[in-house]
A and B are shown apart, each in its own frame.
Chain A
Amino acid sequence: MNKLTPNDFSSNLPVKWCPGCGDYAILTSVKKAMAELGLEHEKYVVVSGIGCSSRFPYYVNTYGYHTIHGRAIPVATGIKLSNPDLMVFVMTGDGDAMSIGGNHFIHGIRRNIGLKVLMFNNRIYALTKGQSSPTTQLGSKTKTTPYGNRDYSFNPSALAVSLGAPFVARSIDSDLNLTSSIIIDAAKNEGFSFVEILQKCVVFTDKEFDVFKNPQTKEDNVLRIENGKPMIFGKNKNKAVIIEKEGPKIIEFDSSMPPKDLSVYNNSDINMARIVSNLMPPEFPLPVGIFLKVNKKSYENIYYEECYKEIDDFESLLKENSYEISN
């Protein structure tokens, strides 16, 4: 059997996102990850809710289920529990997962069901044409917040860490290599994996993430966290986030002589993940990479270890408390 290529995971349907949409890049990253994971088509199930991101299942040549708004996680939970050997991806958005599906998101994580949840965060309801979402930033103008958003926003990665997800990461749509490598790690980690992918909506949030993408500004505004490495950033590699007793702070130094005692990122340290996933611009650079990657037994593995009995037939179940009548 030849190894499958990313193109082998293309479905025969035309992709219908707006030209320039960040979802194209994510689709490319996912297909690349699927090929590298080395599973056959039929082992993948891609489940989605409603929104632009949720059209995703139609564009990959695997089993797919485009469900209803907010409910991808419970549908996927039923699939995964029925057959834990399947690799079940959930493709969702900030409206789908954080708002209407918020309850399922928190309980999916609480349970630690082995779903690989990729949340495309464009900070807007795009399919319904531009209403504010739970990740729309305070003050942002949208169709439903014409005078500026009055709601505080969720930080999805920090939320997932706080809820106890064993794998939490953030990427940006344009960084295809980072996204696909994170998806591979997410897929391999036991239990619930959450990947937040910042995604540009060309219609409504076209400039939203420019500062993190523009070569001129990117280095000073993005913190690429890597396990076992200090959190150095900046165009000249002369800044770092360090974590002190009082909390995180930014220090500057001569890049040729970085201080030896810089805080080193450890993605198995939940406390570090809590602090770093909460770093947000403008005070801090936006952290991307794997916040947390720990071992935590999945719901389905606990389930099948506990539930091992063979029920041969229903008659044997009914035998208890039964009695004979002979007339």
Chain B
Amino acid sequence: MNKNKKNVRVSKKDLTVVRFAGDSGDGIQLVGTQFANATAISGNVLSTLPDYPAEMRAPQGSLGGVSGFQVAFGDESVMNPGGKADFLVVMNPAALKVNIKYLDKGSVIIVNSGNFTPENLKKAGYESNPLEDGSLSNYRIISVDANYMVGEALKDSGLSQNDILKTKNFFMLGLLYWMFDLPIEVTVKWIDEKFAKKPIIRDSNKKVLYSGYNYAENTEIFDAKYKIEKGNLSSGKYRNITGNEAVCYALIAASKKLGRKCFYGSYPITPASEILHMFAKMRSKDVLVFQAEDEIAAVCSSIGAAFAGCLSAVGTSGPGFSLKSEAIGLAVISELPMVIIDVQRGGPSTGLPTKTEQSDLFLSLFGRHGDCPLVVMAALSPSDCFYSVYEASRIAVKYMTPVVVLSSGYIAQGSQPFKIPSNNELRNFEIFRPPSPSDFKPYIRDSKTLSRPWASPPLKGYEHRIGGLEKSNIEGNVSYDPDNHQLMTEIRKEKISRVSKEIPETIVYGDKNANALIVGWGSTYGAIRSGVSKAISNGIKVACVNLKYLNPLPDDLKDILKRYKKIIVVEENTGQFAYVLRANYLINVVSKTKVTGQPYTTEEILKIIKSECENFQEEK
């Protein structure tokens, strides 16, 4: 057992993708998250993708019950969780069967062979054991009987056989920490805190984690240790953050900057519920959270809070967003600020609750009765959820309008290192403060923004009545006057179009001489950026824009689109943004779409670029 006896080769890589898979009861999301945090703390850039079934607990060992978690880590080139995995960690035969498609030949599969029992093989639909029948000969298999190992390690622990087996995920995690030379202390500390009140469980998990680490070090099963290139991140304080976490912190940051209470009204819905959980933990008198009886009550409570002067927000997903439509119209006609976060998932109806999609764009733009414009934005990445939601809050208050921020299951639950900004780096809020009570009218307008003043109870002298009935401009009394409705409809439209003044210059990334432009919006950012980078390094001239502002669109977009001979719109729906571009600019675009519930990968984008641009460049 002497370390020095072993001759371990160290392979260097700038980007590695590890995929964990097992039964949904195997603690896959937990080890995945721990592994991701360890890579973050060692200075890597990373991106994660949880992939789990909608059922609470599908039958054990079944294909439907397989839960996955993918981590890509390395240097700055990591922009998304990657497509194919370099390493697959599988806890049972079903996990292998479901995930083998995510591997290229030659990749490494680390298997808990203890679960490859005849019964489990049968459940997964294997007629013979793939570990023995040669069907995996194109992969490198590292087989460890983690069930046996944890049994041995914990035989004197006093835990039941069942509880002992539950620790096997930590054994596998320990193996990987050795393999990638990651700091095991991160997880040791986490176990200490998580199981502080259960010393036996705490000590057992720690023992098993170290057992895995030591096993890897002491045996010959791994002939290589991998050294992953670290990112060249700018110095500062970081935190690995999911998109949903970033939403919560952004709203709190915005409310602090604004100097008002924060109000988050919501109803449980996958994949947005974590935002509600985060707020529920705050226990603060100025960060209010309200779990409503339904989606409608959630949005209405937030509208009430906005009327009462809070920075208010609602979070939901497609089905809930549909239910909120009527009330959002009330916020539009009342001209109250509100941030609506839609964490998109596969639709229509209940659809694919735990899978990602970008198919609520039309709903955001058009999904209300009447002429009912509002601002629509889309977050680009987990960490950009912070900046998008912060900016949405600022725009909502400045223009007195609801703002929709489209997130998606993928960036909401995926994580990324996030450099924590300081409060003074964040932009200030601008409010149209009501004039003196004698001059105050509910619908007087700021001449620049067309915003109306935000006067909330119990501000003395500003008592006024608003509501869903059309109001006369300036005075704010109920009005059925035809010309007034024409005017108010036009003002509401014009007010939203003036938000384009808030949009920074659109960044075109890629080859300056490109004739083809990939256009994406929101959460496809990482895949498109890295796909374009790869294409350029393959000698293809291509560029891309990744849009964050979808209504209004950036003023400079029209001219950018004109510069390219071919516009390829890539999105995770059946062509909604392509439709928007065609309608807005009367241009043709190529629409490339995907609705599998999985996010676009770098490889898929590269494939699109190759098929669309290589021939195209020859044609010229």
Q: A residues near B, CB below 8 A? A: 11, 13, 40-45, 47-48, 50, 57-58, 61-68, 71, 73-83, 85-86, 103-104, 107, 303-304, 306-311, 313-315, 317-319, 321-327
Q: How far is the CB of B200 from chain A (nearest CB, A)?
A: 26
Please indicate the chain A residues that have their CB under 8 angstroms from the CB of B284 in the complex. 307-311
Contact with B249, one of A79, A86, A317, A323 (Cβ below 8 angstroms): A317
In this assembly, does B302 line the interface, its C-beta being within 8 Å of a C-beta of chain A? yes
Whether the Cβ atoms of A107 and B297 lie closer than 8 Å is yes
Question: Quick one: which of B454-474 are within 8 Å of A by CB?
Answer: 456-469
Whether the Cβ atoms of B458 and A83 lie closer than 8 Å is yes
Please indicate the chain A residues that have their CB under 8 angstroms from the CB of B232 in the complex. 327
Whether the Cβ atoms of A74 and B300 lie closer than 8 Å is yes
Bound-state Cα–Cα, A327 to B44, Å: 12
Contact with A62, one of B265, B306, B463 (Cβ below 8 angstroms): B463
Given A41-B460, A42-B460, A66-B468: 13 more A-B contacts, CB < 8 Å: A42-B457, A42-B458, A67-B467, A78-B290, A81-B288, A86-B458, A310-B285, A311-B252, A314-B256, A315-B420, A317-B249, A321-B239, A323-B239
Whether the Cβ atoms of B465 and A42 lie closer than 8 Å is no
Please indicate the chain B residues that have their CB under 8 angstroms from the CB of A310 in the complex. 284-286
Contact with A82, one of B236, B261, B293, B422 (Cβ below 8 angstroms): B261
Question: Quick one: which of B230-277 are within 8 Å of A by CB?
Answer: 232-240, 249, 252-253, 256, 261, 263, 265
Say whether, besides A325-B236, A327-B233, A79 and B462 are in contact (CB < 8 Å). no
Whether the Cβ atoms of A47 and B457 lie closer than 8 Å is no
Q: B residues near A, CB below 8 A? A: 37, 40-41, 43, 232-240, 249, 252-253, 256, 261, 263, 265, 282-288, 290, 292-294, 296-298, 300-310, 312, 326-327, 329-330, 334, 420-423, 456-469, 477-478
Please indicate the chain B residues that have their CB under 8 angstroms from the CB of A68 in the complex. 300, 326-327, 329-330, 468
Q: How far is the CB of B176 from chain A (nearest CB, A)?
A: 19
Whether the Cβ atoms of B252 and A77 lie closer than 8 Å is no
Bound-state Cα–Cα, A81 to B334, Å: 20
Please indicate the chain B residues that have their CB under 8 angstroms from the CB of A11 in the complex. 465
Say whether, besides A42-B457, A65-B465, A324-B236, A79 and B304 are in contact (CB < 8 Å). yes
Q: How far is the CB of B74 from chain A (nearest CB, A)?
A: 15
Please indicate the chain B residues that have their CB under 8 angstroms from the CB of A71 in the complex. 296-297, 300, 327, 330
The number of residue pairs between A and B whose CB atoms lie closer than 8 Å in the complex comes to 209
Say whether, besides A82-B263, A308-B285, A314-B256, A75 and B237 are in contact (CB < 8 Å). no
Bound-state Cα–Cα, A167 to B252, Å: 36
Please indicate the chain A residues that have their CB under 8 angstroms from the CB of B265 in the complex. 78
Bound-state Cα–Cα, A75 to B296, Å: 10
Please indicate the chain B residues that have their CB under 8 angstroms from the CB of A78 in the complex. 263, 265, 290, 300-308, 312
CB closest residue in chain B, given A320: B239
Please indicate the chain B residues that have their CB under 8 angstroms from the CB of A73 in the complex. 297
* Residue contacts A-B, CB under 8 angstroms, 16 given: A40-B458, A42-B459, A63-B458, A71-B327, A78-B302, A79-B457, A81-B288, A82-B309, A83-B458, A103-B294, A104-B293, A107-B292, A319-B237, A321-B37, A325-B233, A327-B235
Which of A77, A80, A325 has the most chain B CB atoms closer than 10 A to its own CB? Answer: A325
Q: How far is the CB of A108 from chain B (nearest CB, A)?
A: 9
Which of B298, B329, B456, B465 has the most chain A CB atoms closer than 10 A to its own CB? Answer: B465
Please indicate the chain B residues that have their CB under 8 angstroms from the CB of A325 in the complex. 43, 233-236, 238
Whether the Cβ atoms of A65 and B478 lie closer than 8 Å is no
Please indicate the chain B residues that have their CB under 8 angstroms from the CB of A50 in the complex. 468
Whether the Cβ atoms of B477 and A322 lie closer than 8 Å is no
Please indicate the chain A residues that have their CB under 8 angstroms from the CB of B468 in the complex. 50, 66-68
Contact with B465, one of A57, A81, A315, A323 (Cβ below 8 angstroms): A57
Whether the Cβ atoms of B290 and A86 lie closer than 8 Å is no
Please indicate the chain A residues that have their CB under 8 angstroms from the CB of B327 in the complex. 68, 71
Please indicate the chain A residues that have their CB under 8 angstroms from the CB of B287 in the complex. 311
CB closest residue in chain A, given B333: A68
Whether the Cβ atoms of B304 and A77 lie closer than 8 Å is yes
Listed from nearest, the 4 A-B pairs whose CB atoms lie closest are A78-B304, A66-B467, A78-B301, A74-B300
Q: How far is the CB of B217 from chain A (nearest CB, A)?
A: 25
CB closest residue in chain B, given A13: B477
Bound-state Cα–Cα, A42 to B460, Å: 5
Please indicate the chain B residues that have their CB under 8 angstroms from the CB of A40 in the complex. 458, 460
CB closest residue in chain B, given A311: B284
Say whether, besides A76-B304, A77-B290, A307-B284, A63 and B464 are in contact (CB < 8 Å). yes
Say whether, besides A47-B304, A81-B288, A314-B423, A86 and B466 are in contact (CB < 8 Å). no
CB closest residue in chain A, given B455: A63
Whether the Cβ atoms of B467 and A74 lie closer than 8 Å is no
Please indicate the chain A residues that have their CB under 8 angstroms from the CB of B40 in the complex. 323
Say whether, besides A57-B465, A307-B282, A307-B284, A81 and B420 are in contact (CB < 8 Å). no
Bound-state Cα–Cα, A26 to B97, Å: 70
Whether the Cβ atoms of A41 and B37 lie closer than 8 Å is no
Q: How far is the CB of B240 from chain A (nearest CB, A)?
A: 7
Whether the Cβ atoms of A42 and B282 lie closer than 8 Å is no
Bound-state Cα–Cα, A44 to B463, Å: 9
Bound-state Cα–Cα, A324 to B294, Å: 41
Bound-state Cα–Cα, A179 to B236, Å: 64
Whether the Cβ atoms of A75 and B463 lie closer than 8 Å is no
CB closest residue in chain B, given A111: B293
Whether the Cβ atoms of A311 and B458 lie closer than 8 Å is no
Q: How far is the CB of B109 from chain A (nearest CB, A)?
A: 31
Q: How far is the CB of B320 from chain A (nearest CB, A)?
A: 14
